[in-house]
Structure 1
Amino acid sequence: MSDHDRSKEELAIELASLRACLELPQSMPAQLHPSDETYKQVLDALPQMVYEMDENGQFIYANTEALRSFNYSHKDFLNGVNLAQIVDPKDLERAKDNMEKALSGNGYQGEEYTGIRKDGSRFPLKVYSQTVYNKAGAPVGIRGTVLDLSEVRQAEKALKKSETYYRTLFENTGTAMAIFGEDSVILSCNSQFARLSGFAVADVEKKMMWTQFVRADEIDHVHRKHESTRGQISEKPHTYRCTFIPRTGEEKLIQVFMQLIPETRNRVCSLIDVTEVVRAEEALKKSEAYYRTLFGNTGTAMIIFGENGIIQSCNAHFEKLAGCPSTEIIGKMLLWDFVSPEDLDRMMMYHERRPSENRYTPQDYEFNFLTPDNKEKIVHVFIQYIPESSDRACSLIDITDRKQIEQALRKSEERYQLVVQGANDGIWDWNLESNYVYYSPRYKAILGYEDHEFSNTAESWTDHVHPDDLAHTIAANKECIEGKKDKFEVEYRMRHKDGTYRWIHGRGTSTRNEQGDIYRLAGTHTDITARKLQERTTNARYAIAKAIETSEAMHHLYAEIHGVLDRLIHAGNFFIALLDEKNDRITFPYFKDEKDEYRDIENVSNPKTKSLIGHVLRSGEPIFFSNASPETARPELQADTIGTPAAVWLGVPLRLKDKVVGAMAVQHYSDPYHYSDADVSLMKAAAEQVAIVIERKANEEALTRLNEELESKVEMRTAELLENTAQLEAANRRLTELDEIKSALVSSVSHELRTPLTSIRGFAKLTGKDFVKFFTPLSHSQLLKEKGERIVKNLEIIESEGVRLTRLINDFLDINRIESGKVIWNDTLLNPCEVIRNASSALVGAFAAKPEVALFTNMPTKVSPINADPDKIQQVIINLLNNACKFTLEGTVTVSLLEKTDHLLISVSDTGIGIPEDEQKHIFEKFHKSRAGDTISIKDKGTGLGLAICREIVTHYKGKIWVESIPGKGSHFHFTIPTISGTETSCL
């Protein structure tokens, strides 16, 4: 009979029964009875394990899922199974203790153990249980549910995020839940409710009322909602919204789903914080009733289908999984309708084999679930027979997301492996808990090892670190392990398989677990030997070059060079040999040796003269041999050794240009690994510096001789220079006297010229006026009129030339005073805008005489002041404006002012005839006149001193003056004057 065929009373009774199965009340009988078939059917259909155990730890009942999970049969249970058989020995004592607590009235929930299957395999599990009492109220056993945590543990390891799977229904709904009585006292609440309210569960249960969390103005509304549910049991919970006041006082809008618990006056209430999802209200209204029968609220999609595959019942989770309502599913569709075609044959085969209890037919497996709208999902299905019927209960869990994550993890792992294989750097990954270290093949190859030759332990690393570097290298790792730093970088040496050392740049970073503890380090390992050797060579060059600059005596310099090499390669036994070609011998100007003394080697040119240095000098190439390397240990060289044989010997030639002038060498008597091929480059670099010293010494000797020759010549030349100096000083004094005479003469002549010139101009002007007034009216003939006009014009010429001559004399005096330093500068704080206006006003008449030329000014509203003589600055602007007016036939002349960072830029621009490029560099010279001046009238011709005066004035004020001009298009004269910062003045 389906749910639709039963009455509400029957469903309510079944709901109460199922809930009783879940809550395991203390009033339940000590063991199951045959009449409890409905109870057994439901429990056998559950994907969770359910058990019952007596007070001695002997199991008296287990549902089908429990039997399947532990690989036991009903027959095994009839023969007897006890607690010790299914719990790992390390957990057994704790399990017994918890059982004793439960039997004494202290129940336990959510305990985790390691379970043992019949075949001996182990798996993690979680137990929820309650004490079972007999009719007399005495504890007689324990009843509970068991959750298989295997998949949860696997998910935790892969994703580190998944939560505990299979908790009690009340704790794992995903929403805040509370059960309260008719008086609104909260009888029970889950952890989600505690988080929502801000109170601990212990502070809420049986101590606080539901209405304490409701805003005051909504309490009546909430009471009415609760009253409306009195005595009403419905399939769907009652729902309403209200304002929830948590402990923080911050109001939250919640959606409440409330259901009357059958046969009680208590209400179960689930709360969803919809503060941030008010817009989703319509979707929430369509959500399923939260607290319904066990079938509808297991947390997974469930269906019951018959032998023919027709779906007889389904819950809301299945509706969601299928994407269609139950009205279109129940009695109308088959399970196979939801199976993807590629999995259909396998599903049908399992279905056909299941009645025969074929042991190869799985009770849970995965398949591709196909919705009516052709959307595919990956589903894990659990199928169980309902006892004494041919119907099957089927639980389906959508694992699409999990599968996608697993696939993403696999791809990530594949990419990681590719990176590890392809990276030139070595990669390491250290699990601090297990002390297992992964070293990539490249990591091991850098040290010369095959993968199997270098074990994956931390000790493999520490054993290969150079003893001198071990302490600071471990310290860098330790800071990261202790959480002082998230990352570290350190440089150190590691021993290669061949016994030599490689420089390594190590990088690492830490990873924390969910508890915040650092449990893992990982990083890279880069071979920087080449870089270190280059740095070492560079440092050696620098140190030796510095020693060359500071050391005077050659022996001291050789000792400095020895010290540099000793610090870099531990050159305890070291010598420098020089070739004396004149005497055919090798000398040793410097040597340090712990065993032998060095004497000069005679007859070097004779091939029979044996010595390793002789080989270096004759071949001009480095010689390096070590007893550790057979390929370098040349017998013919070792046979030529003078003195005590060395375990390793390295000598390099000293070259001056293309000539070998000596050699230097290092050796070690006991350690054949003391020097390596890398040290050859360092010795060659040092040899270049030593050769420079030798060359410098030769040059110094030559320079000494040259200095001696020059000293005598310098004495002779010095006497000549002293004589010339005396002559120059006398000439300079004479020039100074002449300059003073010139300045006095110019001043005197200029003043003497100005007096008669003023008279000439005055009398010429007066004569012209009298002639026009008294004699012109007497001219009655045309001839006399023409003669009179000519006399007037001649007098005007005298006047204009007098003006020009006066201007020339004034300019001449100005330039003379400036050059002689006798000019007086009346500097004061000026508003540059007023100076420009005054200069422009002074030339209004000149521009009025040329109406075809317009004068404009362009100035800002505010400008910084300047410290200068207003007459001098005005003289500069007037000279520039006068020239612009003079050389502009038509168009415009513009004077503009622009303030820069620390100076003013004053410009005078015109649209005149312009200045040829070859003249522009000369126009500021004295008496220079532009060729373009030929096009203007005589009265407008200048003196050639105006721009020179402008330059002297601007230069005096630390400014600059220049011109930009294009012939035919006009000129732009610019000059700068420093400003007084920190103040401003108005230009309006």
Structure 2
Amino acid sequence: MTRIAEAWRRVPTVSAKVLLILMPGTMVMAALVLAVALHGRQRDLEAALREKMAAIADVNAATLSSTSWTFDLRSVGTLVQAIGGIRDVVCVEVSDERSGDRVSWPGAGCPPDAGAAVERRPIRIHDLQVGTVALYYSRDAVDEHLRRDAAAGTLLLLLMLAGTAAAALAALRLAVGRPLHRLIASIREAERDSADERPHRPVDWRAADELGRVIEAHNAMAARLWQEETALRKSEERLALAITATRSSVWDYNLGNGQYWWSKEFPALLGYGPDELAMTAETWASLLHPEERERVIAASRRRLRDQARDYAAVYRMRRRDGRWAWIEDRATARRGADGRALRLTGTMSDVTERVRAELDLARERNILQVTLDNTDQGILKVDGDGRVVMANRRAAELLNIPQELLVGNPLFAEVVALQQRRGEFGEFGDDPDLFLSYGGGQEGTGGPPDEPSGAIDQPFTFKRRRPDGRIVEVRTNPLPEGGFVRTLTDVTVEARSAEEIFTAMQELERAYAELKETQASLVQAEKMASLALLVAGVAHEINTPIGIAFGCATHLSGRTGVLSDAFEHGTMKRSDLAAYVATAGDSARLIEQNLTRAAELIQSFKRVAVDQTSQERRCFELLAYLEEVVTSLGPTLRKSRHRIAIACSPGIMMDSLPGALSQVVTNLVMNSLTHAFPSGSSGHMVIDVDEMPDGDVEIRFADDGIGIPPENLPKVFEPFFTTRRGSGGSGLGLHIVFNLVTQSLGGRISVDSVPGDGTTFTLRVPKTATPNAAAPDTAKPDTATPHTGVPRPPGRPDDRPPDPLETEPA
């Protein structure tokens, strides 16, 4: 029912609603009348058809009874065919009860299975029934008459309905539609007139019916509303001018019914549209700053309990763009006889600029004082009257006087007198600033003859040594309004550092030479360790094919002895010889295959070994060479649960230094086995190769280990940096990789890692090495970083940190 009511409300016009009510009822009544008429017509037609068939049956039964009944098939058949020619007859059957013979028309299918009416008549001779005649007839003619009558009745019904609907709509339009149309047009014009501030025009319609009285009441109400709107508009204009002049908004809160109202200027203060904020106390509370919400709401609640009439508060509210605005809220309470607040009315103003200026000023003062107190220079300000108006802690320390004295704004002469009593001036004897005037107008009052005197308008600087040996640089800057600002700087360290720099440089050069010698030794040790790993791989890989070949030879030797004994004793059979030949063939094939495999492994290991012990440049196929290097690492990999895969397209030819590439891959694999996987875990390593359009090859070595912490990423290529110092790590593996890639192979390398998500080293090297890459041993592996003595990676001409675009740390 709810859906029907909702659909009824959505019908757009009254005419449509009238038709929805009128047409279904009219159609139902007309349909019932038509149905009753058709039912009567059907009964009449069926009765007429039945009477017709009964008469035909009686006539033919009488005809057959009047003849001498001999059941002549030919004469009976002729009669049956004549009866069958009558319209509506579908089957005629004549039967002889004495002989059991039967004549029917049209033959097959008579009598019909169903759907046909029948008229049966007995054939009698001398009151004795000798046979039966049956006429089966169809009601199709009746149905056809009914269909024609139904079509004609339906057409007549539709014409009647159309006429009824047209008459009803015409009456509805004249009686209801025209006055309603004028009323609606008047209401819409009233909206436009109100927006344009024009008086409303009444509806031009007069009638004594209900709609006439409604329109008359509407005209009277519209005239009254126009007068009230005019008065309200003038009042709002005055209020808006007052609010705009004060850059504020007005609000009102009725405590009795909880209604909250504010003027349209309040949403505008926060950047909202006039209708974007619901006028509720909850909306106001939701806009408060989280740090101030509890305080402001608690203060607002206190307004209801105390007896004060006026309130003021400043707090922050969130603007539409997410920023915070400072709002000054002023309110007045209207109270009842018992003193309880009944209503709060006030204004809210945006004071963000004023509050920010106050906060900035307070912040700047605080920053200035904190800066002065924490600066390494002593700062002292003296006004035109010679009084100390500002000083920091460092000034008190360098002047060797109590800070409490400077806080009390003493005369500068008193400060100098205190220093004189303590002997702070040494060979100077006095302070020059005591005898100089700054800002003009005051002449010197005398002093030592070698000291300058008179008005000074330029900075004045001198140094003096304190009794404790510290050297203080004093700089005096005159102020335009009179007085000066004095800065005191302890330059003792700078004075003593010159003699220490030479000694430090000598020590640095000696330490760098020792470091370079140690690095060279460790690099050679890394190369020998890699070669040892290769030798172990040779021994392990060769043992497998040779062992299989040896086993096959032993098995063949045993079968040969058995066959020889059978031959000598004359017991050898043809099947024994055939089995021996098959065994010999299989053994020979296995021996040949495994020895061939051993030879290939030996050639591969020889190439890798020669490459690792020399830096000769040659052409090689990258995929095959990487497989040879990984094969040489087979024993080390099989000792662990880790696996390595190669994803490289065949046919990539390199004209480069295979030894350097082998050393790089070996060090990367060993680095992952050592650092990437916890003990007892199983991991995967992948060597992925892509051929670049610019003639380079990009090799990505990735593992799914624990990754590298972010703080260690910038240092992974530095020499001697390792996280396994106590476990035998030298910290040179990745440094050697960096040198080989950037110098020997002429490429670049970067690392990317996420803790817990593995590490990826990306190498980009040219397929054809540069000419100077053929002799990397002659190049200096690294240079010292200035001021630290720590060697930096080669190929970087300055001491700047690694560029993230070059070495993408992870």
Higher relative contact order (CA 8 A, sep 6+): 2
Question: TM exceeds 0.5?
Answer: no
Larger Rg belongs to: 2
Greater share of strand: 1
TM-score range, shorter chain: under 0.3
Give the structure-2-normalised TM-score.
0.20
